[in-house]
Each structure stands twice: as structure tokens, then as C-alpha cells.
A and B are shown apart, each in its own frame.
Chain A
Amino acid sequence: MSFGPHLFLAVLEGTVTAFVLALTALGLSLVFGVMRIVNVAHGEFFMLGAVLAWYCSTLISGSPLLGFALALVVAPLLVGALALLTDWSVLKRVDYNPESTIVATIGLLYIVQQLVLTVFGPEARPVAAPVYFRVSFPWFGYSGYKLIVAGLSASLLLATWYALSRTRLGLYMRATQQDYEIAQAFGVPVRNVYATVFALGAMLAAVAGVLIVPVQQAHYLMGLDPLLLSFIVVIIGGLGSLKGTVVAAFVIGLSDGIVSVFFSPTLAKILATLLVAAVLVVRPGGLFGDNRA
């Protein structure tokens, strides 16, 4: 294959990665932005989404499409419920203290990982794509499912944007993010907002896991990479900024796709990390974050 089509393929791969990454990182960014806590277990919500998708696909073995549809409903609901339970049983108890939360979510990370290892096992398990067709370009054919992944992610990002900017809950989330004390003085039940945000963030990650599993296989350790990449995206994009998260996901996703195709995935990670350092030097609050000292 000559350079042009090769680059096109890399951009295509990068775009799909970017959309899924944006979805995963958005959950982290919301939690980080609104609640000011770092959820180290965010990647495990992603992994749980993928593992639950596998269970759904075995439950309905005849039709991959039905299994996929079931997973898209069941996985976010179960993972959201787990997040609510975590909020109530752990985060609330440590009063959302940033340091304690980091330690507590590290604990949650190991608990979830070991539970999945015990129940699901150490193997990587494939899930059949819900639809199988190839989009043929003049130079190569490309997985139609991956394009669907990009499309679904984009619609979810749009839906999140709509919810944040046009609904009462979204307004309350943004108000809480900016001044939680005064938000209470305007009738915002901030504890409920926190619980909702934590659950929503987890659900976004779970959906991303469901979407990715036909491409990547379900494995109990698969949460680490998306967690690290999400952190990079959130730091580059700026805390709690949806626009920043999407832009940064594309910068990271595309450069990762292109550099991985032409050079090596390791170099891609090195460049991404350098990029974080560079952004932090110039704009400590991230590209779209609050940069007032």
C-alpha cells in the first residue's frame, strides 16, 4: 500500500480510537470537574462494561445483534448501580476528601479486578461484532462495525452535551462545579448531584467498554490503558470541559493512530506524554480549562 492510503487508514483507526476515548475520558472529566475527586477505578467501569457485554453475548448466543443491544442497556445500568453503591458506601463516608478518595478508589480498582478474575477468569474472551460488513475503499476494505462505534460514540457525546447545556440537571452540575456552597443556597442538593455525576461517569465508561469489546476482547486487566489515556485527555483538555475533552481525545487518538501505524505504539505513548508536559507548561489549566492562576 502506498503512503496516501496508508495514512488514510491510520486516520480512520485514530478517529475510532478518539471517539471511544472521548467517551471514556468524558466520564472521568465530569467526575473530576464537578466533584473534584480523582476516580482511579474509572478504567474498571470500562472493563466491567466489556465483561458484561461478553456475558450478554453468551446469554443470547444466536444473535450477536440482540446480545449487543442487551449489553448496551444492561451494562451501563449495572455499572451505574455499582457506582451509586460506591458513592453511598465509600465516597460519602470519606466526605469526598480528595486524598482519601484516591486511596479508596485504588481499593475499589483491586476489588473489582479480583472479583472479575475470580468469576470471569484470566482469559481474554472475544465477542462477535453485532453486525458484520465491510466498507470498501478503493485501496482496502474497512470494518463497518468500527464506523458504527464512531457513530454511536458521537451521538452519545452529543447527548451528553445536550444534557449538560440544556437541562436542569446539567445546569445544576455546572453550578455545583463552580461553587458548591452557593449552589446549595440555590436549592441544589449537591450530594445527589455528586451521586448522579459519579453514576453517569461510570455509565459512559461502561458503554465505551461495550462498544470496544468486539474489536478488543474482554479481559480483566483491560481497564488500565483507557484509564491512563483518559487522564492524559482530561489534563490536556482541562477539568470538566466537554469541548476540551473531545478535542484532546482527538489529538491523542489521531496521533496515537498515526504514530502507531507508521512507527510504534510505544513511540505514540511517549509522544502523548510529552504533549501533556508541553501543554501543562504553557497552559496549566489545560487547553479549555480554567487558566486563571
Chain B
Amino acid sequence: MLRVENIDCAYGKVQVLRGVSLTVAAGEIVGLLGRNGAGKTTTLKAIMGLVRPHAGRILFNDTTLSDLPAHEVPKQRVAYVPQGRRLFPSLSVRENLQMGLLVNDAGAETLAWVLELFPTLHERLRQRAGTLSGGEQQMLATGRALCTRPQLLLLDEPSEGLMPSLVDRLLDTVRGLREHQVGVLLVEQKVEAVLRVADRAVFMENGTVQHETGIDALKNDPTPLVRYVGVNR
């Protein structure tokens, strides 16, 4: 479904991605792991068209995403939950969800589905998004993305700053998307979270993909975790 082929990205003269390739299939959850500055967030931004690769290409189904302007990418049913939530803080919760719904002209049905996934948002529809608690903001950021009815969901550090019970809720939601054949590319610092939901893990270092492995293999042999993330389990 998603095929990133050999992309190079740079911020000004600083090259941050070198020949990155990865794939995500429909209904598959892929964890993208690596230390700070490895290029995980930039990879997601490149898929969204927010950073332009100067070499390589990004394919989604039959479309070349890397040829589209950034605002056309979500219309191909690719949705983004950015790091740090990045809600529209002065807009109400309803308006934030509306921003998602408008992308692919989704209607009341989609809104009802999202509010069912995150019932707390229901009571806060009229509240300004900036006044929500951290957990509620993450739910709203995820809900806003789901409102676009995505086939591919890009999640950047969704568990950051959340208490464990909320992380569980969120991971359940992500796992539930598999039934809808939604592919997920999950960037996470918390290795535990990736091990629990992902089918496959991709490790990045210094802007390149260094290693790929199935999750079961990773559970048996955690050396890549030590090597690329610095975690001892």
C-alpha cells in the first residue's frame, strides 16, 4: 500500500534522510524505532508532503505522493497525528474534528464513530482544544486524524506524556484499526508499546534504515533494540 523508495531529505544544507525505504501494507502496523535525530519524524513529514524529498519517491496505492502538494496528500486517505499533538488550540473540539471530516467529506457517521472511540470528547465538543488535558488532547489529535477516514495512519510519539492507562486505550484503538484494513506507521520512543501492537519493526539511525525485523523475532532476539535504541530488556 505505502512504498517509500530511496528518499533523500534535507533541511537547507543539512541532509537528514539518506536513501530511506520502507513499506506498510493494508492492515499492518509498522513500528519505526530509533534514537532522537535518527530521522523518524522527518520520514513521516516527507510522506505527508510537508518536507520535500529531493531524491526517491513515495508511492501510495497507485499515486505518487511525493509529486503532490502537501494539502492533496490527506485526500489520498493518509492521516497524520503529529508529535506534540499540534491541535488547533483556539478552535473548539468540534471544529478540530471538523477539520478532519472536511478532508474527505466524511459525515455524521464518521463523527459518531470517532466519538464512540473517545467518549470523553463528546462532553467537550464546545470547549477550546487548548484547554484540554494532555490525554484528551492526544485523543482529539487521534480522533481528528481518524475523521479523515484514513487508509494509512501516521502516528508520531502518541504515548508521549500519557499515563499508562491512557497508553493502553490508545494502543487498543490502534490495534482496532487493523480490522478496518488501516495501515499504521508508528513512531515511538516507548519500545514496549511497539512490541505490543506492531507486526514489524524498522530501525533507523543517522537518517538511514539500518534493520528490519518481525516483532516475534525481535522478542526472541532483542539485540537490535540495544543497538539502535539503546534499550536493554
A143 within 8 A of B: no
**How many Å lie between the Cα of A186 and that of B73 in the bound state?**
9
Quick one: given A174-B88, A178-B89, A179-B88, are A185 and B73 in contact (CB under 8 Å)?
yes
Q: Given the complex of chains A and B, what is the CA–CA distance between A184 and B52 in angstroms? A: 14
State whether the Cβ of B95 lies closer than 8 Å to any Cβ in chain A: yes
Query: What would 4 more interface pairs be, CB under 8 Å, given A175-B91, A181-B50, A185-B73?
Result: A171-B98, A174-B90, A182-B82, A182-B88
Minimum CB–CB distance from B165 to chain A (whole Å) comes to: 27
CA–CA, A190 to B74, complex, Å?
14
- From B53-61, B99-107, B173-181, give the one contacting chain A: B99-107
- Residues in B with CB closer than 8 Å to A171 are 91, 95, 98-99, 102
8 Å CB contact of A185 from B70, B91, B95, B102: B70
Q: How far is the CA of A174 from the CA of B98 in the complex (A)?
A: 13
Show the binding face of A for B, using Cβ within 8 Å: 168, 171, 174-175, 178-179, 181-190, 290
Residues of A within 8 A of B103 (CB): 186-187
Q: Which of the listed residues A168, A178, A187, A290 has the most CB atoms from chain B within 10 Å of its own CB?
A: A187
In the bound complex, residues from chain B placing their C-beta under 8 Å from that of A179 are 86, 88
Size bin of chain B's contact surface: 20 to 34
B: which residues have CB within 8 A of A? 48-50, 69-75, 79-80, 82, 86, 88-91, 95, 98-100, 102-103, 144, 148
7 pairs across A/B with beta carbons < 8 Å? A168-B102, A174-B88, A178-B89, A185-B74, A186-B100, A186-B144, A189-B69
The total of Cβ contacts below 8 Å across the A-B interface reads 60
Give the most central of A174, A179, A185: most B CB within 10 Å. Answer: A185
CB of B50 within 8 A of CB of A187, answer: no
**Interfacial chain A residues near B89, Cβ < 8 Å:** 178
By beta carbon, the residue of chain B nearest A190 is B71
Task: Compute how far the CA of A162 lies from the CA of B136 in the bound complex, rounded to whole angstroms.
Answer: 29
- B75 to chain A minimum Cβ distance, whole angstroms, is 6
Tell me the minimal C-beta distance from B127 to chain A in angstroms. 16
What chain A residues lie within 8 Å of B74 (beta carbons)? 185-187
Nearest chain A CB to B22 CB, angstrom units: 20
**A184 → chain B closest CB, angstroms:** 4
Question: Nearest CB to that of B73 among chain A residues?
Answer: A185
- The reply to whether A187 and B102 contact each other, CB–CB distance below 8 Å, is yes
Across the interface, do A187 and B88 meet the contact criterion of CB distance under 8 Å? no
| Smallest Cβ-Cβ distance to A184: which chain B residue | B70
Chain B residue at minimum C-beta to C-beta distance from A193 = B71
Q: List, in ascending order, chain B residues with CB within 8 A of A174's CB.
A: 88, 90-91, 95
Are B48 and A185 in contact (CB-based, < 8 A)?
yes
A182 partner residues in chain B, CB cutoff 8 A: 80, 82, 86, 88
Query: Shortest Cβ distance from A149 into chain B, in angstroms?
Result: 32
Looking at A179, A181, A184, A190, the one whose CB has the most chain B CB atoms below 10 A away is A184
CB distance from A106 to the nearest CB of B (A): 28
Closest to B49 in A: A184
A55 to B12 CA separation, bound complex (whole angstroms): 50
**Set of chain A residues within 8 Å of B148, measured between Cβ atoms:** 186-187
- Closest-CB distance, B61 to chain A (whole angstroms): 18
Indicate if the CB atoms of A178 and B91 lie closer than 8 Å: yes
User: Which partner residue on chain B sits nearest A186 by CB separation?
Assistant: B99
* Residue from A168, A178, A184, A290 in contact with B71 in the complex, judged by beta carbons closer than 8 Å: A184
CA distance in complex: A179, B87 (Å): 8
Taken together as a complex, chains A and B put the C-alpha atoms of A181 and B148 apart, in Å, by 17
The 4 closest A-B pairs by CB, nearest first: A184-B70, A187-B103, A178-B88, A185-B80
Inter-chain contacts of B70 with A (CB < 8 A): 184-185
For A174, the closest partner residue in chain B by CB is: B91
Interchain CB contact under 8 A, B69 and A175: no
Interface pair A178/B50, CB less than 8 Å apart = no
Closest residue of chain B to A189 (Cβ to Cβ) is: B71
| Whole-angstrom CA separation of A199 from B70 in the bound complex | 23
> How far apart are the CA atoms of A178 and B92 in the complex, in Å?
13
Contact of A187 (CB < 8 Å), options: B71, B86, B90, B95: B71
Q: For A175, what are the chain B residues with a Cβ–Cβ distance below 8 Å?
A: 88, 91, 99
Q: Within the assembled complex, what's the spacing in Å between the Cα atoms of A190 and B50?
A: 12
Kindly provide the distance from the CB of A241 to the nearest chain B CB, expressed in whole angstroms.
10
Expressed in whole angstroms, the Cα–Cα distance for A217 and B163 within the complex equals 66
The CA-CA distance from A163 to B50 in the complex, in Å, is 28
Give Cα A188–Cα B98 distance, bound, in whole angstroms.
12
A185 / chain B contacts, CB cutoff of 8 Å? 48, 50, 70, 73-74, 79-80, 82
